[in-house]
Amino acid sequence: MVSFEVRTPRRAVLVDISAEVAAAVNESGVTDGVVLVYVPHTTAGVTINENADPSVRADLLLALERLVPLSLPFAHQEGNSDAHVKASLMGSSASVPLHGGRLQLGTWQGIYLAEFDGPRRRRVLVSVSAAG
């Protein structure tokens, strides 16, 4: 397993971590299998989505903010309940097939750390399992 750190610049942001995940895969030496990307945080998540048009990221964040606004009357008193809900909706991990040493992402896909309670320093874990 390989881990790396991501510094997020603001409260809510999707940070492209595709290159860091690919570097972790290269470091593993595995060429065929499955890559698991996981964040051990309760107010951040991982997602795979379009990385060609940055407006898609903005739209995702906008939709999540409208679904779960900070202004809801949450019982949790730390002021980040919306971040916990958004992270749960996003999920804390993503799996990607690996073939020939390359992540089998679609043409327009990227892997993102989804920050909902930043700015912070976040840890991302990458585990590569060999096929067969």
DSSP per position, 29-44: T--SEEEEEE---SSE
Structural domain span for residue 36: 2-130
Q: What is the largest CA-CA distance in the chain?
A: 50
Report the number of distinct structural domains present in the chain.
1
Q: What is the pLDDT at residue 104?
A: 98
Strand partners, 127: 36
C-alpha separations of 19 from 15, 58, 111, 128 in Å: 11, 21, 9, 15
CATH number at residue 109: 2.60.120.460
Residue type, 102: R
pLDDT tens for each residue of 84-120:
999 999 999 999 999 999 999 999 999 999 999 999 9
Q: Tell the burial category of 66 from Cβ atoms under 10 Å away from its Cβ (0-12, 13-18, 19+).
A: exposed
pLDDT of residue 77: 86
Low-confidence stretches of the chain (pLDDT < 50) are: none
Phi, then psi, of 28 in degrees rounded to 5: -70, -30
pTM score of the predicted model: 0.95
Q: CA torsion sign, 56 to 58 to 93 to 99?
A: positive
Q: Is the dihedral of CA 78, 56, 46, 10 positive or negative?
A: negative
First to last CA, the chain: 18
